[in-house]
Amino acid sequence: MPGTSLFLAGDSDGVEALQSALSEQGIAVRSATVSDMAAALVGMEQRLEGDRPAAAVAVGVGESAVALGITASKLGIPLIACLGEAGGDADGAKHRILATLATLEAGADPERAASVIAAWLRDGSSA
């Protein structure tokens, strides 16, 4: 998928694992992790407007993932969510937000998620 790029944000371990798996599929990836929601929203918007990736990928339910989901939706960029099971109250609410905003749910396993995302991109679903 030459010329296709994705932007990942979320839980750092999950982002690293998924980034590696996507690279093996030949998909270019940029990523970010931040801890402050306000800074994340501003930073994500600037990066997404500049890069205009084929999709944004939210990994987990951390502040970075939620900021990416909100910002991608605002900019009309498809959101792919890589979510595990919904956790406690706060994580459960973030999980519901990301699941609602997502165009595609790719699952929490990095290898499976990379395959699902690659197939989605190959099928032209990002158009």
The predicted model scores a pTM of 0.83
Q: What is the pLDDT of residue 88?
A: 62
Q: What is the pLDDT of residue 64?
A: 86
pLDDT digits (tens, 9 = 90+) for 75-97: 999 999 999 776 666 678 889 99
pLDDT digits (tens, 9 = 90+) for 26-73: 898 988 766 667 777 888 898 899 889 999 999 998 888 999 999 999
Q: Are 103 and 55 in contact (CB under 8 A)?
A: yes
pLDDT digits (tens, 9 = 90+) for 1-24: 545 789 888 888 888 899 999 999
In the structure, what pLDDT confidence band is assigned to residue 127 with cuts at 50, 70 and 90? very low
Can you identify the CATH homologous superfamily of domain 8-21+34-109?
A: Glycogen Phosphorylase B; (3.40.50.2000)
